[in-house]
Amino acid sequence: MFLNIGVGLGGLLILLIPLVISAIRVLREYERGVVFQLGRFWGVKGPGLIIIIPILQQMVRVDLRTIVLDVPTQDVISRDNVSVKVNAVLYFRVVDPERAIIQVANFMEATSQLAQTTLRAVLGKHELDEMLAERERLNMDIQQVLDAQTDAWGIKVANVEIKHVDLDESMIRAIARQAEAERERRAKVIHAEGELQASEKLQQAAFVLAQQPGAMQLRYMQTLGAIAGDKSSTIVFPMPIDILNNLTEAVRKERP
C-alpha cells in the first residue's frame, strides 16, 4: 500500500514539476510581460520574477529598448516633378506595452509600413532643393507625423534620419550646370558692386580736387613723378592750362 502511495506521489511530482517550471518567468530590466487570463487582458508584469498560471494565463514579452528600423529605399516624386530614391532610418521604442500588443497585430511591421508611406507623403510636398539642403527640417516633419500616428499603438518615435537622396545622372548634370551658373551670377554681381563703389569714390575724389586747385596741381606732379620712374618708354604728356596761363602772364609783365 505504501509502495502504491509513494509511486502515486512520485508520479504527481513528475507532473507538477514541469507545471511549476512553466509557471516561473524571469523578465529583464528592459522587458515587460503583457499577461492575458482566459483571453482577457489581465496586466503588465515585470521586470524580475513573475508567476504565470499555466493554461489559464498566457504572457507576451515586449522589449522596451530603442529599436533601429531601416526604412527601405522609396521612389519619391518631389513637388517640382523630380523623381528621386530616398531611404531613411527610424528610431522608436514601446512606451505602453498594453497598447503595443492589443491595438495592433504586429507593431514592428506596422511601424515599418507607416514609415515608408509617411516618407513618400512628406517628401512629395517639398522641392528637390529642400530635400538636399534642409534635411534637418524634413527629418523633424517626418518624425512629428509618425509620432502622432503611432501614439495610439503605444509607440514613441524618437528620431528619423534621411540617409541618402539618390538622383539619376541627367539630374546630377543639370544641378552641376545650375550651380556653375549661380557662381557666375554671383561673380558678376560682386564685380558690378565693386565697380559701383569705385565710381562713387572717384566721384567724391573729383569733387574734393575740384574744390582745391592746388591739390589738383599736387596730384598732377605726383603722377608725373610716378611716370618718370619708368625709363623703359617715352611718354608725351600735355602741359596743364593753368601753368601755361601763369607763364604767359609772367612774360607779359616783363615786357616794357
Q: Is the peptide bond before 47 cis (omega within 30 degrees of 0)?
A: yes
The pLDDT-based confidence of 239 (bands split at 50, 70, 90) is: low
Please tell me which residue, 201 or 106, carries the higher pLDDT value: 106
Is the model more confident about 90 or about 83? 90
pLDDT of residue 112: 94
**Read out DSSP for 129-187?**
HHHHH-HHHHHHHHHHHHHHHHGGGTEEEEEEEEEEEE--HHHHHHHHHHHHHHHHHHH
In CATH, the number for domain 67-167 is 3.30.479.30
Is 19's pLDDT higher than 90?
Answer: no
Q: Are 102 and 148 in contact (CB under 8 A)?
A: no
Beta-sheet pairing, 24-27 with 48-51: antiparallel
Task: Look at residue 113 in the predicted model and tell me its pLDDT.
Answer: 94
Total-model pTM: 0.65
Give the H or E element holding residue 106.
none
Give the model's pLDDT for residue 122. Answer: 93
Ramachandran area for residue 188 (φ above 0: left; ψ -120 to 50: alpha; else beta): alpha
Listed residue (162, 187, 166, 188) closest to 175, CA to CA: 166
pLDDT of residue 181: 78
The whole-number pLDDT of residue 130 equals: 86
- 67, pLDDT greater than 70: yes
Confidence band, pLDDT 50/70/90 cuts, at residue 92: very high
Task: Fill in the DSSP letter of residue 124.
Answer: T
Q: What is the pLDDT of residue 153?
A: 95
Average pLDDT, the chain: 81
Residues 47-64, mean pLDDT to the nearest whole number: 91
Indicate whether 244 pLDDT > 60: no
203's grid cell: 566721384
Q: Are 135 and 98 in contact (CB under 8 A)?
A: no
Question: Tens of pLDDT along 219-229?
Answer: 666 666 666 66
**For residue 2, what pLDDT is reported?**
47
Instruction: Give the residue extent of every domain in the chain.
Output: 2-63, 67-167, 175-254
How does pLDDT run across 138-194, given as a tens digit for each residue? 999 999 999 999 999 999 999 999 988 888 776 666 666 766 777 788 888 888 888
pLDDT > 90 in the chain, percent: 41
DSSP state of 41: E
Distance between CA atoms of 48 and 30, rounded to whole angstroms?
A: 10
pLDDT of residue 102: 94
Say which DSSP state 40 is in.
E
| DSSP codes of every residue in 53-76 | -TTTEEEEEEE-S-EEEEEEEEEE
Phi-psi region of 167 (alpha: psi -120 to 50; beta: other; left: phi over 0): beta
| Residue predicted with more confidence, 215 or 134 | 134
Summarize pLDDT for 96-151 with one digit per residue, the tens.
999 999 999 999 999 999 999 999 999 999 888 888 888 899 999 999 999 999 99
What one-character DSSP code corresponds to residue 189?
A: H
